[in-house]
Chains A and B, each alone.
Chain A
Protein backbone atom coordinates (compact mmCIF):
# COMPACT_ATOMS: atom_id res chain seq x y z
CA UNK A 1 0.00 0.00 0.00
CA UNK A 2 1.80 3.09 -1.25
CA UNK A 3 2.00 6.05 1.06
CA UNK A 4 1.33 9.67 0.20
CA UNK A 5 3.16 10.58 -2.98
CA UNK A 6 4.44 14.03 -3.81
CA UNK A 7 6.19 15.27 -6.89
CA UNK A 8 8.46 16.75 -7.72
CA UNK A 9 10.66 16.25 -4.67
CA UNK A 10 12.73 19.29 -5.57
CA UNK A 11 11.65 22.25 -7.64
CA UNK A 12 13.66 25.30 -8.64
CA UNK A 13 11.89 28.35 -10.02
CA UNK A 14 13.00 31.85 -10.89
CA UNK A 15 11.15 34.78 -9.39
CA UNK A 16 7.93 35.41 -11.27
CA UNK A 17 7.48 31.86 -12.54
CA UNK A 18 4.72 29.47 -11.53
CA UNK A 19 5.19 26.45 -9.29
CA UNK A 20 2.89 23.41 -9.39
CA UNK A 21 3.15 20.85 -6.64
CA UNK A 22 1.33 17.54 -6.85
CA UNK A 23 0.05 15.21 -4.16
CA UNK A 24 -1.52 11.77 -4.48
CA UNK A 25 -3.12 10.66 -1.19
CA UNK A 26 -2.92 7.18 0.24
CA UNK A 27 -5.30 4.68 -1.32
CA UNK A 28 -8.75 5.07 0.16
CA UNK A 29 -8.06 8.53 1.59
CA UNK A 30 -10.29 11.33 0.40
CA UNK A 31 -9.01 14.16 2.62
CA UNK A 32 -5.90 16.12 1.67
CA UNK A 33 -4.05 18.80 3.60
CA UNK A 34 -1.20 21.08 2.56
CA UNK A 35 1.36 22.47 5.00
CA UNK A 36 4.38 24.71 4.55
CA UNK A 37 7.62 24.42 6.52
CA UNK A 38 9.98 27.35 6.47
CA UNK A 39 13.63 26.69 7.42
CA UNK A 40 14.09 25.97 11.13
CA UNK A 41 10.34 26.23 11.77
CA UNK A 42 7.42 23.92 12.35
CA UNK A 43 4.76 23.15 9.80
CA UNK A 44 2.02 25.69 9.15
CA UNK A 45 -1.38 24.63 7.86
CA UNK A 46 -2.40 26.05 4.51
CA UNK A 47 -5.50 24.29 3.16
CA UNK A 48 -7.75 21.26 3.65
CA UNK A 49 -9.56 19.72 0.71
CA UNK A 50 -11.89 16.86 -0.05
CA UNK A 51 -12.65 15.69 -3.56
CA UNK A 52 -13.75 18.75 -5.58
CA UNK A 53 -14.21 20.85 -2.44
CA UNK A 54 -12.09 23.25 -0.41
CA UNK A 55 -13.10 22.72 3.21
CA UNK A 56 -10.73 25.06 5.06
CA UNK A 57 -8.34 27.52 3.44
CA UNK A 58 -7.76 29.68 6.49
CA UNK A 59 -3.97 29.25 6.26
CA UNK A 60 -3.65 30.02 2.59
CA UNK A 61 -2.12 33.36 1.54
CA UNK A 62 -4.80 35.49 -0.10
CA UNK A 63 -2.88 36.10 -3.29
CA UNK A 64 -0.90 33.92 -5.71
CA UNK A 65 -1.72 30.61 -3.97
CA UNK A 66 -4.47 28.21 -4.98
CA UNK A 67 -5.25 24.55 -4.42
CA UNK A 68 -7.51 21.97 -5.96
CA UNK A 69 -8.36 18.31 -5.56
CA UNK A 70 -10.26 17.21 -8.67
CA UNK A 71 -12.51 14.20 -8.95
CA UNK A 72 -9.78 12.40 -10.85
CA UNK A 73 -6.07 12.87 -10.35
CA UNK A 74 -3.82 14.34 -7.70
CA UNK A 75 -4.26 17.42 -5.57
CA UNK A 76 -2.39 20.44 -6.93
CA UNK A 77 -0.95 23.36 -4.99
CA UNK A 78 -0.26 26.21 -7.38
CA UNK A 79 1.89 29.23 -6.62
CA UNK A 80 1.84 31.99 -9.20
CA UNK A 81 4.58 34.59 -9.64
CA UNK A 82 6.82 33.04 -7.03
CA UNK A 83 8.98 35.21 -4.78
CA UNK A 84 12.05 34.31 -2.71
CA UNK A 85 9.91 34.12 0.44
CA UNK A 86 8.02 31.17 -1.08
CA UNK A 87 11.16 29.02 -0.74
CA UNK A 88 10.16 26.29 1.70
CA UNK A 89 9.26 22.64 2.01
CA UNK A 90 5.64 21.94 1.14
CA UNK A 91 4.10 18.85 2.66
CA UNK A 92 0.92 17.11 1.74
CA UNK A 93 -0.94 14.85 4.14
CA UNK A 94 -3.98 12.65 3.77
CA UNK A 95 -6.51 11.02 6.06
CA UNK A 96 -9.34 8.54 5.56
CA UNK A 97 -12.97 9.63 5.22
CA UNK A 98 -13.89 8.25 8.65
CA UNK A 99 -15.16 11.14 10.73
CA UNK A 100 -13.25 10.14 13.85
CA UNK A 101 -9.92 9.50 12.14
CA UNK A 102 -7.92 12.63 12.77
CA UNK A 103 -4.41 11.31 12.21
CA UNK A 104 -2.77 12.52 9.05
CA UNK A 105 -0.19 10.69 6.98
CA UNK A 106 2.47 12.83 5.39
CA UNK A 107 4.26 12.66 2.10
CA UNK A 108 8.01 13.25 1.66
CA UNK A 109 7.51 16.89 0.71
CA UNK A 110 8.44 19.14 -2.20
CA UNK A 111 11.33 21.47 -1.56
CA UNK A 112 10.81 24.66 -3.53
CA UNK A 113 13.75 26.97 -4.14
CA UNK A 114 13.11 30.35 -5.71
CA UNK A 115 16.17 31.97 -7.25
Chain B
Protein backbone atom coordinates (compact mmCIF):
# COMPACT_ATOMS: atom_id res chain seq x y z
CA UNK B 1 0.00 0.00 0.00
CA UNK B 2 1.13 3.52 -0.67
CA UNK B 3 0.43 6.86 0.93
CA UNK B 4 1.52 10.46 0.58
CA UNK B 5 1.61 13.13 3.26
CA UNK B 6 1.91 16.78 2.39
CA UNK B 7 2.76 18.88 5.42
CA UNK B 8 0.96 22.19 5.42
CA UNK B 9 -2.31 22.56 3.56
CA UNK B 10 -1.57 26.27 3.03
CA UNK B 11 1.79 27.93 2.48
CA UNK B 12 2.25 31.67 2.03
CA UNK B 13 5.44 33.27 0.77
CA UNK B 14 6.46 36.69 -0.45
CA UNK B 15 7.24 37.28 -4.10
CA UNK B 16 10.94 36.51 -4.62
CA UNK B 17 11.19 34.27 -1.55
CA UNK B 18 12.10 30.59 -1.47
CA UNK B 19 9.26 28.13 -2.02
CA UNK B 20 9.42 24.85 -0.09
CA UNK B 21 6.52 22.39 -0.26
CA UNK B 22 6.95 19.20 1.73
CA UNK B 23 6.04 15.68 0.66
CA UNK B 24 6.68 12.41 2.45
CA UNK B 25 5.65 9.08 1.03
CA UNK B 26 5.22 5.49 2.09
CA UNK B 27 5.68 2.65 -0.37
CA UNK B 28 6.44 -1.06 -0.09
CA UNK B 29 8.26 -1.03 -3.44
CA UNK B 30 10.60 1.53 -5.00
CA UNK B 31 8.42 4.50 -5.83
CA UNK B 32 7.93 6.70 -8.80
CA UNK B 33 7.23 10.23 -7.54
CA UNK B 34 5.49 13.18 -9.15
CA UNK B 35 4.55 16.77 -8.47
CA UNK B 36 1.52 18.25 -10.19
CA UNK B 37 0.15 21.80 -10.14
CA UNK B 38 -3.53 22.69 -10.37
CA UNK B 39 -4.78 26.18 -11.17
CA UNK B 40 -8.37 27.07 -10.23
CA UNK B 41 -10.99 25.12 -12.17
CA UNK B 42 -8.38 23.41 -14.30
CA UNK B 43 -6.83 19.98 -14.58
CA UNK B 44 -3.47 18.92 -13.22
CA UNK B 45 -0.24 19.78 -14.99
CA UNK B 46 2.87 17.67 -14.47
CA UNK B 47 5.69 19.73 -12.93
CA UNK B 48 8.32 17.04 -12.59
CA UNK B 49 8.85 13.35 -11.92
CA UNK B 50 11.37 10.98 -10.37
CA UNK B 51 11.67 7.45 -11.71
CA UNK B 52 15.29 6.32 -11.55
CA UNK B 53 18.73 7.87 -11.77
CA UNK B 54 19.59 11.35 -10.54
CA UNK B 55 17.81 12.13 -7.29
CA UNK B 56 17.64 15.88 -7.96
CA UNK B 57 14.98 16.42 -10.57
CA UNK B 58 14.36 19.66 -12.43
CA UNK B 59 10.94 20.52 -13.75
CA UNK B 60 9.10 23.29 -15.48
CA UNK B 61 8.76 26.89 -14.27
CA UNK B 62 11.99 26.73 -12.26
CA UNK B 63 10.82 24.05 -9.82
CA UNK B 64 12.94 21.16 -8.65
CA UNK B 65 12.62 18.30 -6.17
CA UNK B 66 15.02 15.94 -4.48
CA UNK B 67 14.29 12.28 -3.81
CA UNK B 68 15.70 11.28 -0.42
CA UNK B 69 15.17 7.58 0.15
CA UNK B 70 16.47 7.63 3.74
CA UNK B 71 13.93 10.30 4.65
CA UNK B 72 11.17 8.99 2.34
CA UNK B 73 10.79 12.55 1.12
CA UNK B 74 10.34 14.36 -2.18
CA UNK B 75 10.14 18.05 -1.29
CA UNK B 76 9.47 20.64 -4.00
CA UNK B 77 11.47 23.87 -4.10
CA UNK B 78 11.82 27.01 -6.16
CA UNK B 79 14.45 29.63 -5.34
CA UNK B 80 12.31 32.68 -6.08
CA UNK B 81 8.51 32.73 -6.01
CA UNK B 82 6.53 34.49 -8.70
CA UNK B 83 2.95 35.67 -8.44
CA UNK B 84 2.00 33.21 -11.17
CA UNK B 85 3.09 30.31 -8.92
CA UNK B 86 -0.02 30.74 -6.78
CA UNK B 87 -1.90 27.46 -7.20
CA UNK B 88 -2.50 24.10 -5.54
CA UNK B 89 0.33 21.59 -5.63
CA UNK B 90 -0.08 17.83 -5.36
CA UNK B 91 2.56 15.22 -4.66
CA UNK B 92 1.83 11.72 -5.98
CA UNK B 93 3.39 8.25 -5.92
CA UNK B 94 3.02 5.15 -8.05
CA UNK B 95 4.66 1.74 -7.97
CA UNK B 96 7.74 1.04 -10.05
CA UNK B 97 7.20 -2.71 -9.75
CA UNK B 98 4.14 -4.92 -9.95
CA UNK B 99 2.48 -2.99 -12.73
CA UNK B 100 0.08 -0.99 -10.59
CA UNK B 101 0.02 2.38 -12.31
CA UNK B 102 -2.60 4.20 -10.27
CA UNK B 103 -1.37 7.41 -8.70
CA UNK B 104 -1.84 7.96 -4.98
CA UNK B 105 -2.08 11.67 -4.24
CA UNK B 106 -1.45 13.77 -1.18
CA UNK B 107 -4.16 16.12 -0.02
CA UNK B 108 -2.49 19.10 -1.63
CA UNK B 109 -0.79 22.34 -0.57
CA UNK B 110 -2.25 25.67 -1.58
CA UNK B 111 0.52 28.16 -2.29
CA UNK B 112 -0.16 31.86 -1.88
CA UNK B 113 2.34 34.43 -3.11
CA UNK B 114 2.17 37.85 -1.50
CA UNK B 115 3.34 40.93 -3.42
Contacts and interface: CB of A to CB of B under 8 A. Distances in A.
B24 to A, nearest CB: 14
A14 to B, nearest CB: 23
Interface in A67-115: 91, 93, 95, 100, 102-109, 111
Contact of B44 (A45, A55, A56, A106): A106
A103 B43 contact: no
A45 B101 CA distance: 10
Nearest to A58: B102
B43 A91 contact: yes
How many interface residues does chain B have, given as a range? 20 to 34
A35 B49 CA distance: 19
Contacts, number: 59
Given A48-B102, A102-B51, A103-B34, A42 B46 contact: no
A95 B45 CA distance: 13
A4 B44 CA distance: 11
B77 interface: no
Contacts of B103: 33, 35, 43, 45, 93, 104
A35 to B, nearest CB: 8
A104 B102 CA distance: 9
A47 to B, nearest CB: 9
Contact of A31 (B90, B101, B105, B107): B101
Interface of B: 32, 34, 36, 41-46, 49, 51, 90, 94, 96, 100-108
Interface of A: 4, 31, 33, 35, 41-45, 48, 55-56, 58-59, 91, 93, 95, 100, 102-109, 111
